[in-house]
Structure 1
C-alpha cells in the first residue's frame, strides 16, 4: 500500500550495503542500512542477478559461485528488512532494483541472503580499480575531488575534511604537496551524480583515500554544494642521477617524502620524452633499462609505466599503484636527454648568438667569463669543427626571453655546453646586451677542403 510505496521510495534515495559476518568485505551476509540500522535480506527470492548487482556496487567484481552458496542462518538479533530484491542483473547498484519491504515474520525461512564475490578491497575482476581525479580546476592538480566507484564518478562531501586527507590525495595523484591549512576549503563548481564519500578521516599514513575511515559508500547527509575541492602544488618531482649531467642518468621520483626509482617494465622512448620535457632537457634520446646508471635504493615507486609521449608530467602516465611492483633495482630505468644548442643571426649555421633550449623555451648565454674554451665546446656540440672566435657584447644581436646561463666555465673536453660548470639555470646578473656568441670553422664535412686550400696557399707563399 502507501506505506510500502513510501518505504521503497526512501530506499531508492540511497542504499548503503555491506557483507558482514566474515573476514572479507567481499563475502558474507547481505545487509542494507535502513533508518540507521543494518538489516538483512531474506534468502527467498535472492538470486544471481541481485548478487551480481551487489558485488558490482561493493567494488568486488562478480559472484564467485554459481549457484550461490547456502545462505547462513540469521545471526542472533538479526533484523530482516527486505522480503525480496528483484534485479535484472545489469543495474549499477541496488537502488535501481525493485525492493520489497518485509520483516522476520514475512520471511518464510530462517535463512538470510549471502554472497561470495570474487574480489577483495574493491579490485574484483572486470571492475575498474578505485581511481581519483580533480575536475573543473585550472590544472590537473587542482579541482573538485572525484572518486570512481562501480564504474561511476562521484564526489566527496567536505564534512570533517582536513589537510591530512588532502595530503593522502596528493600522494595518490602524484601531485606534490597539499596547499592551504585545515579549515580552508577551496571551492570549485558543484559536481553532479553520486556523492560517494562522507566524513572521511585519514591518519596520513594511508596509501589511498579508500584506506581512510569513512562512512559507508554512498551514505551521506550532504549536497553537491559541499563537494570537496583540493589544491595541490603540482606533479611529482623527478630527477636524473648518477649520470654525467642533470639531463642524463637513473630516473628517480619523489613520493611520500622519499626518492625512489622506476622499474623498466614497459618503459619506452615515449616515457623518456615525457621525462626530458618535464625536466626542461629537450628531446628524449634514449630509454634505457637494466640499471645502466647504477642501482638505486628502495623504494621502487613506479612499475609498468606507459606514456603516450604527450603527457606534461610522468605522474600523468598510466602505471601500477605507487609502490606496487615485481622488480628489483637491477631493472631501474635510465634516461638520456638532449639539451639543444643553436647559433642565431650569424653569416652561416656555424656562427651566431649562442642559444640553449631549457624548460620548454630558448634562451641566451651571458658573456661573463665567456672564452674560446667554451666556444670550442659549443662548436663541437653543433658539429661545426673548431672555434675561430668567442664574441661578446651581443655581437650577433640581442636575444629575447630567458638568459639561461651565466659564468660558464668549461675545461674544453666537455661533449656539451650543459656539462660545463655553470651557475643555476636562469640565475644571472646580465642583460641581453651581454649575450655570448661564437664563430666556428665550419661543418666538419668541409674541413678537409678548407685544410687543402690552406695548404695550397702555404705552398704558394713558400715557393
Structure 2
C-alpha cells in the first residue's frame, strides 16, 4: 500500500506548528501550508518565486530552494487560502517576516496553491536520491529512488521520454535516448515507489514531477521504468555533434569505420532529432578523450538504438580519436517556417504553442483548442500531422502575453494566424490554460502517447 509521508512542519516556541509541506514525495517538498486561527491553509502563487521558497526551506531546515512551483503542482488544498502576494527578499528566517496581504485576503483559487522543492538537509534523507541499475552503465538501466534507506523501482505506468529526460538531467547523463519496455533491465524486487508519474520534462528532479502515490507497493502495470541516455558533444546544438556512448560508467566515442547515414539515422531517431542530414567522419566536431567504445558499426537504419546495430565488441578497434564519428540531424537545423514555435517539449515538434506578434512571443489559450488547431501548427512547422492537442499547460506555463484565444481552425489553413480567433491579445485566460501540440514528426514521443493524454 502506498503510504504518503507525514507533512514536515515548523513549530513555534509555544509548541504550535506554523508551517508545513503537504502532499510531496519527501519531507522537503510539497504544497505550502501555514497555520492561522486554529486552521491550516494554503498560500496563493501570485508573485511566488525562489526568494519565497528559500525562506520556507530555511524555516523548515530543508536546505536550499531548488524550485518554487505554482498552479497547485502538489495538488489543490481544501482549507482556507491564508496568504497572497507573498514577497520575500530570501533572507528572512520565517515566511511571516515577508511582505504579504492580510490573513485570508486574496483573489485566488486552490488551483493556484504554491509549492516548494528543497534540496534536503543532514537530518533528513535528501529528496531526489536517484540511480539506475542492471544496465550497461550508470546512465542506462532500471530507475530506482531511495526511500526509507531502501532503493525501490518506479512503476512504468505512464513512463515516457518526458520522465526519462528528467532522470537523465538529474544524473548528468545528457538527453534521454529511449525508454526500454518489457523489463529490459529486470524488475528488481517487484515493488514500485512512484505511480502515476507525470513530468513536464523541464523539472530538475524526478520527485518534482506530479505523482499519485508514494511508498513501496505493487506496480499495477507489472513493469519497472527504465531509461537509456546518450549525448552529442561539440556541436552547435543538441542535434549535431560527436557521438558518444556510455559503457561501464565511462563515456567513449564511436570510430567512423563504415559510419554512414544509416547509423546517423538511428542516432537522430534515438535523440528525437528528426532525420539524419549527414554522418561526418574524421572528428568534425573535435576529438574525444579516453575510450573508443564502438567500431565498424553496421546499422540497417531502422533500429531503435545504436546498440542494436552490428559492431565489433565493446572497446575493440584499430582507431584513434581523429576518426571519431559525428551526426547532423534535422531537429534544430531546420528554421521554423513562420512566427510559431513549440516550447518546453523534448524537441521542436512537441510543446507549448507560442506565436510571434509585435515582436513578442506569447501563448495560445486552450479554449476551443482541438486537433484541427494542432494540425495547422504541425503543418506550419513542417512537423507532419497532429497526433495530440494537449490542454492545461501540459508543457509548462508561458510567462509573457497570451496572444490568441478561441482559435477555431478547420485544419486546412496554412498558418495559425489564418484561423478564426479573438483579436490579438483579447482573452479571458491564465497561463495554466496554455495550449500545446504534439506532431507525428516527433519520433521520440510517438510510442509514448498514452502517458501524455
Q: Please state which band the TM-score falls in when normalised by the shorter chain.
A: 0.3 to 0.5
What TM-score do the two structures reach when normalised by structure 2?
0.34
- Bigger relative CO (Cα 8 Å, ≥ 6 apart): 2
Task: Write 1 or 2 for the structure with the bigger share of helix.
Answer: 1
What TM-score do the two structures reach when normalised by structure 1?
0.34
